[in-house]
Amino acid sequence: MSNVINWNAKGVSQQPQLKGKDFLSLSDFHTDEILYLLEEAKELKSLQKQGKPHPYLSGKVLGMIFEKASTRTRVSFEVGMLQLGGHAIFLSPRDMQLGRGESVSDTAKVLSRYIDCIMIRTFAHSTVEELSEHATVPVINALTDLHHPAQVMADLLTIQEHKGKLAGLKMCYLGDGNNNVTHSLMEGAAKVGMHISIASPPGYLPNGKITEKAIESAKLTGSKITITHDPIEAINNADIVVTDVWTSMGLEAETEKRLKDLAAYQVNAEICQHAKEDYIFLHCLPAHRGEEVTAEIIDGPHSVVFDEAENRLHAQKAILKNLLK
């Protein structure tokens, strides 16, 4: 589908035409499309809080493929689909021929005959891309080793709620920079005009191609992307501080090495003294207290991690509504 943005006479963006589009990474979306989805998420959240029914997707069915386990992703997508009036089907590798050797392309073609949208949480990003290539219904990336766009939509919604804006704010990420959260944060920040500074040790820097693409987006919005080995430089005067687990799923054999390599990048009270006094702390969860973040921070007054977790529901409902309605 074309990404052309239409403008009305007052210069305000019209509703983007997102129906049928895939949601694979934030780099695939224009600034206006991301901001529109955030406004939709706020509206859907308001309706839900007021107890007002909003069955925009009555009769629609979402198929949810999970090759990686999840708490927030499964519950938020399933509940979100039900609140929108539709239905969700959980599909694990044990439940599918995909787990017994059926090709991704055949799976995509078959599921497209049965359901209205495919959500997948998996390892290789190439799996999502292949699914997208062969499916005739929208495909949503609920996490791959390279990208976590649905999570970052919830992060942007949370920042907007607590800071009142996005453009011009400084976000700092400390820890393993070569992971899906960092990559999607870079892409999201660049699209909405936020500055982002990432501090990681040698060997843990973000993916080069993703970084280059984010820098190109940043040129259009005035965003600044800084990548450094110095955590104090990165966190200095930050409005938002973010981290993630040091050992992601599939990397458990590297745990001991990662604990040693990343120790200087822990988010704790000492380093957070360099952020702004009113900074907020984000973490996609689950968290390992005492490793990437101390309990004092994640359970302290600056933490908004449970608002962030809740906003997975509202951000994903906006995505589902606009891809399917």
Q: Is 148 a catalytic site residue?
A: yes
69's tokens: 């386990």
Element (H, E) at 119: strand 117-121
Q: Which of 83, 147, 284, 316 is catalytic?
A: 284
Q: Which of 72, 121, 183, 258 is catalytic?
A: 121
Residues 6 or more apart from 299 whose CB is under 8 A from it? 289
Per-residue model confidence as pLDDT tens digits over 218-255: 999 999 999 999 999 999 999 999 999 998 877 788 99
Confidence of residue 1 (pLDDT cuts 50, 70, 90): very low
Greater confidence, 305 or 98?
305
For residue 5, pLDDT over 70 is answered with no
Q: Which of 32, 312, 314, 316 is catalytic?
A: 312
| C-alpha to C-alpha distance for 239 and 221, rounded to whole angstroms | 18
| C-alpha to C-alpha distance for 91 and 275, rounded to whole angstroms | 42
Q: Is 121 a catalytic site residue?
A: yes
Q: Which of 83, 117, 244, 302 is catalytic?
A: 244
**Residue 149 confidence (pLDDT):** 98
Residue at 200: amino acid letter? S
User: C-alpha angle 27/239/273, rounded to 5°?
Assistant: 135
Residues 6 or more apart from 112 whose CB is under 8 A from it? 118, 135, 136, 137
**Residue 249 confidence (pLDDT):** 73
What letter does residue 164 receive in the DSSP assignment? Answer: S
Nearest to 131 by CA among 107, 148, 100, 157: 107
The strand order across the sheet containing 240-243 reads: 225-228, 195-199, 170-174, 240-243, 280-283
Q: Which of 72, 117, 147, 151 is catalytic?
A: 151
Which whole-number Å values give the CA distances from 121 to 53, 128, 131, 174, in the listed order? 28, 9, 12, 24
For residue 137, pLDDT over 50 is answered with yes
Q: Is 239 a catalytic site residue?
A: no
| Spatial contact of 140 and 88, defined as CB atoms under 8 Å apart | no
Nearest to 5 by CA among 42, 40, 31, 23: 31
Confidence of residue 94 (pLDDT cuts 50, 70, 90): confident
| C-alpha to C-alpha distance for 140 and 324, rounded to whole angstroms | 11
Confidence of residue 97 (pLDDT cuts 50, 70, 90): confident
- Of 2-11, 23-32, 36-45, 56-65, the one with minimum mean pLDDT is 2-11
Q: Is 244 a catalytic site residue?
A: yes
Neighbours of 7 (CB within 10 A): 10
**Residue 4 confidence (pLDDT):** 32
Q: Is 28 a catalytic site residue?
A: no
Per-residue model confidence as pLDDT tens digits over 26-43: 999 999 999 999 999 999
For residue 49, pLDDT over 90 is answered with yes
Average pLDDT over residues 294-298: 98
| Spatial contact of 297 and 28, defined as CB atoms under 8 Å apart | no
**Residue 98 confidence (pLDDT):** 84
| C-alpha to C-alpha distance for 150 and 142, rounded to whole angstroms | 6
Per-residue model confidence as pLDDT tens digits over 152-195: 999 999 999 999 999 999 999 999 999 999 999 999 999 999 99
For the chain, the average pLDDT equals: 94
| Spatial contact of 175 and 262, defined as CB atoms under 8 Å apart | yes
**Residue 248 confidence (pLDDT):** 80
| Spatial contact of 19 and 323, defined as CB atoms under 8 Å apart | yes
Average pLDDT over residues 189-212: 98
